[in-house]
Chain A
Amino acid sequence: MKRSLRLIAALLMAGAVVFWAAAGANRGWTKTQIPIKTMDPVTGLEGIQWQAKFVPGVDFLGAALLGSGILAAISFFTSRKPKQPPIETKI
Chain B
Amino acid sequence: MKTKLAILALMGATGIAFAAPQTFDFKDPKGINNAGFKLDAPLEAINGNASGVSGTVTFDPENPGATKGKIVVTTASLMLPNPMQRTHMLSDKWLDAAKFPEISFEAKEFKNVQSAGVTTTADVTGTFTLKGVSKELTVPVKLTYMKDKLSDRVPNLKGDLLVIRAGFSIKRGDFNINPGQYEDKVSDTIELTLSIAGAAPK
> Do they bind each other?
yes
Bound together, the chains give a CA A30 to CA B81 distance in angstroms of 8
A9 to B49 alpha-carbon distance, docked (Å)? 39
B43 to A58, Cβ gap below 8 A? yes
B183 interface residue (CB < 8 Å to A): no
Interface string of B31-71 (1 = CB under 8 A from A): 11110100000011001010100000000000000000000
Contact between B32 and A45 (Cβ–Cβ < 8 Å)?
yes
Contact B43 A29 (CB under 8 A): yes
Identity of the chain A residue whose Cβ is nearest the Cβ of B80 in the assembled complex? A33
Check A48 against B51 for contact (C-beta < 8 Å): yes
Cα distance, A9 to B80, chains bound together (Å): 33
Interface residues of B in 107-138 (CB under 8 A from A): none
A43 in contact with B197 (CB, 8 Å): yes
User: CB distance B81 to A47 under 8 Å?
Assistant: no
Q: CB distance A47 to B34 under 8 Å?
A: yes
| Interchain CB contact under 8 A, A28 and B44 | yes
Q: Does B158 contact A (CB under 8 A)?
A: no
Chain B proximity mask over A24-48: 1 for CB below 8 Å, otherwise 0 = 0001111111110010101111111
* Min CB–CB distance B182 → chain A (angstroms): 16
B82 & A38 in contact (Cβ 8 Å cutoff) = no
A48 CA to B197 CA, complexed, in Å: 14
Q: Is residue A77 within 8 Å, beta carbon to beta carbon, of the partner chain?
A: no
Q: How far is the CB of A36 from chain B (nearest CB, A)?
A: 11
Pick from A30, A47, A57: contact of B32, CB under 8 Å: A47
**Alpha-carbon distance A49/B176, docked complex (angstroms):** 30
A75 to B51, CA, bound (A): 51
Q: Is the CB of B161 closer than 8 A to any CB of chain A? A: yes
